[in-house]
Amino acid sequence: MAVRKSSFVWYFVMPVPLPPILAFTTTGKRRPSAAASSWEGVTAFLRGRGVDLTFNAYLSGMQKIALPLTLFIVVASTVVFGQNKVSLEVQGDSLILLKGRELLLNKQGFPQQVWIDPAGERVALLAENVHFHFINQADGKDFRLRNGELKFGEKEEGRAKWDATTVADAVSMYVEGEASDKGVISLKVRVTALQDVDLKDIVMHIPMEKGVAKSMQGLGRNGNYAFDSIYHWKWEPGKKMAEAWIGTGKTGLGFLLSGPGEWLNEGKGGVDVGIKGKSMLVNNYSGPRHMKKGDEIDYNFKLKLNETL
C-alpha cells in the first residue's frame, strides 16, 4: 500500500496565568481531547502518547511581573496515512520477515530458505538448507542428526532469537540464532561429544542457487571469479575471520566465519567454493579431530543479506 503524508494544524485556547510569554511547539500523532482542561492535563496527555515537547520562553519587552494572559497553544502534527511497516516480524513457528527479506528456519535452527526482494521480484538464494555434516572416521559416513525442536525466545526491538538442539549417535548440536532487521543472521553452534569419537571432518555447507551465484568478493577474490572450477581457501595462523559475498548485481548472500581456532583446527580447516550438483556450494570444513566424551567445540558464523560485502 502506498504511503501518503498529510500535515495539518490544531488550534485550541486555554487561559493560563504565566510570567513570561511562552511559544509552545510540538510534533505528535493524536489530537488532545476536550477533557484536557488544564496545562498539567494537556502536557500529561501529550507526553503519555509519546509527544515530544519543546518550549521557547522569552520575556515580552521589559515585563518583569506575572500578568494574566490568554495563551494560544498551537499544536502542529504530521500524520502518516497507510500501513505501519514493522522492521521485523515472526510469523508462525519458523518464518521471519526482515524489511523486504524473508528467512525460513528448519528444525535444526538453520536457514531453510532465504528470499530477498531487490527490485520487486522475490528471489530465493539457497538451493537447499544450510547444514552441518559430522563424518565418522571409521566408515566415512555421516552421523545422522535427528531433527530437534525450534524455539523462539522473547522478541526484542528489531531482533528475533531462537535455539534448537539436535542429537546423533556420537554428538549433539545446540544452535543459538539471532536475526536483526539489518539483514544479519548470527549463528552459534556448539558441538558436544556424547562418547569418545574420531571425526574425519566437521563441515558446514551453504548451498546457493547457481542462478544467483555469479561472482565472489572476499577470500582473496574481487568479484571476478567464475565458478567453473573449485576455488580453495585455507585458514592460516593469524587469520581472525573468513568473509565473502557471493551473488550477482544487488542479489546475494554474505558469510563470515569467526572464532578462528575451531575453524582453523591447527591448519586443517578451509573453504572450498564451486558448483556441486544443483547448487553453488560453499564448503566450510575444519578437518579431522578426536573428541573425548564431554568435549565441546563452538562454531560461530554470520549470514548477511546485503547487496555487497
Confidence (pTM): 0.72
Distance from C-alpha of 306 to C-alpha of 309, rounded to nearest angstrom: 7
pLDDT at 16: 42
- Which residue ranges make up each domain of the chain? 4-81, 88-304
| Residue that has been written with the C-alpha cell 542428526 in this structure | 145
- Per-10-residue mean pLDDT for the chain, 309 residues long? 37 41 39 44 48 40 36 30 63 92 96 89 94 97 92 92 96 97 96 98 97 90 76 90 90 92 93 93 97 98 83
Distance from C-alpha of 53 to C-alpha of 43, rounded to nearest angstrom: 8
Distance from C-alpha of 136 to C-alpha of 290, rounded to nearest angstrom: 10
pLDDT at 176: 98
As a three-state string, the secondary structure of 193-218 is ECCCEEEEEEEEEEEEECCCCCEEEE
pLDDT at 4: 37
pLDDT at 44: 52
| Among 127, 129, 103, 107, CA closest to 116 | 103
| Among 167, 187, 165, 185, CA closest to 176 | 187
φ, ψ of residue 183 to 5 degrees: the values are 90, 20
- CA–chain centroid gap for 161, Å, is 10
pLDDT at 260: 83
Q: Which fold has domain 88-304?
A: Beta-galactosidase; Chain A, domain 5 (2.70.98)
pLDDT at 52: 45
Measuring CA to CA, how many Å separate 273 from each of 23, 154, 237?
65, 36, 21
